[in-house]
Amino acid sequence: MASRAWSPVIRILLVALTVMTTASWEITSVKADSGGTCQVAYGLTPTSIPDWLMPVSENTNLATANRYDVLAAELLSSGLVDGITCPAQGLNPDGSANGCGIELTKDQVLTWQNQFDSVILSSSQAAELPPKVVKAVIAVESQFWPAANWTLGEIGLGQMTTYGADLVLMWRPAYFQTICRQTYGEIGCTTQYQFLDSSTQYLLRGMVLRDIEATCPNCPGGVDLEKGNQAIRVLTETLNASCLQLTRIFNLATGKQPAAFLSYDDYWRLVLANYHAGAGCVYQALRKTGNPNNWNSIAANFSSGCASGAEYIRRIEGQIKP
């Protein structure tokens, strides 16, 4: 998720939307045979589903062979790959991998980017989400390196932020109670997240981030891979939360469900933009568009402070396309 330096106006709008998108909006559980949370939130069973949005099946193959230079640098700097045969141990002065380092780590990068596939498949199946989307989000967010980036405040394989923790705690009641029970015992929380006092919300957000913080000084490479697996499970919860919130935002902006305007694939592009750029950015773009009947017209109306939302979708699609 993006770590955004929002303007005061957008911050105020986000706070307002936080209340508007949850107050008087029933968050219901979804039956296993319903097509999943996101399909129900869309408002219509799609007549056809593109390959990148297909659910898990016995033939699903997530294997990729992409070049990830950030991952290469992490493998070198963590000592998981010995860069002794390269100039400067395979690293540039800024910490990025040099040409020799990229070449040296090629096989390890290939292995590393596919080691989470089984957890992506099982988590996507449990959450009824398209696994290719889940893997693409991880690729764009972290290049499969699970450690935290505390400079940007982004944690785990999905680069969760405090805004993302807010999103999942508000819109996924069962997950919210899981976090509550870790903090308060079996009694959990008797009040919905959005109505808790700010100090309790802060504590619960911290619990979400702590659960997926993979930094581990005593682990190989300094990362706990089980925490990486947990981050995948939390990512799928958060994507489902984004589907629910996006549908509410769409209803506020247009008075209708997304299916009344958008194809299923354009709906998913907007869900991912919401995950990355936030509710305030998406709501503003929808209001500016007037007739939001396709992704391109909506993307063209992201404000300058939200423009990364459109670029994010291009990067996601770049990971999915063969």
User: Would you state the pLDDT for residue 199?
Assistant: 95
User: Would you state the pLDDT for residue 9?
Assistant: 46
* Closest among 279, 271, 201 to 240, alpha carbons compared: 271
Query: pLDDT tens digits for 212-248?
Result: 999 999 999 999 999 999 999 999 999 999 999 999 9
- Per DSSP, the three-state class of 6 is coil
User: Would you state the pLDDT for residue 6?
Assistant: 42
Q: How far is CA 138 from the centre of its chain?
A: 7
- Whole-number Å distance between alpha carbons of 304 and 281: 10
User: Would you state the pLDDT for residue 4?
Assistant: 45
- Whole-number Å distance between alpha carbons of 61 and 63: 6
- Whole-number Å distance between alpha carbons of 72 and 102: 6
Residue 41, pLDDT above cutoff 60:
yes
Provide the 8-state DSSP code for 257. -
What integer best gives the mean pLDDT of the chain? 90
Per-residue pLDDT band at 151 (split at 50, 70, 90): confident
